[in-house]
Structure 1
Amino acid sequence: MDNIFMNVTDKNIAARKVYTKAADTFAYANADCTEKISAADLQDAFIKGMVIVDATGIHFLPVSCEIKKNVATVTYVTTDSTTSTTAKLATVKSE
């Protein structure tokens, strides 16, 4: 079993907010969507706890994180606006 250790920057953090906008699928570190997140930081946020906030302000929890060719892709479940019992998958990716 591998251990995941908290570091000094993790002190008193419940979760990290990752922002996304409708124009692209990148993960952003700020609500203005100007600072893209690196693959290492996105994976670290996924492992230690993150919430994805879309352009309308809705919060989602991630379900998986995959890294290929130095790009982290996080998948999360969104709601379907036409059918309340149907869910859709969406992704955000690192820079």
Structure 2
Amino acid sequence: MNDAAPAPTPAPRRARVRAPELIGKGGWLNTGGTELTLADLRGKIVILDFWTFCCINCLHVLDELRELEEKHRDTVVIVGVHSPKFVH
């Protein structure tokens, strides 16, 4: 009999996912005029927040997102994606 512990199984390799660039009709807001690219966000945790201004729940979450962004300023980026319910 062999009393040696079995060799650990190597962790599975994670597939690399290529995300498309974030392109919108209205451009970037609140970035000081800079259009961000995915390369600019590399190494950060990116939270995509899909919202519309006529959704009360979308507005309620803003305070929590702001707190997250302030607390983790060096590692977290929040990108709000406005998706209007109605054409204005």
Query: What TM-score does the superposition give when structure 2 sets the normalisation length?
Result: 0.26
Higher fraction of helix: 2
User: Which protein has the larger Cα radius of gyration, Structure 1 or Structure 2?
Assistant: 2
> Which structure has more RCO (C-alpha within 8 Å, separation ≥ 6)?
2
TM-score (norm 1): 0.25
Task: Give the structure with the higher percent strand.
Answer: 1
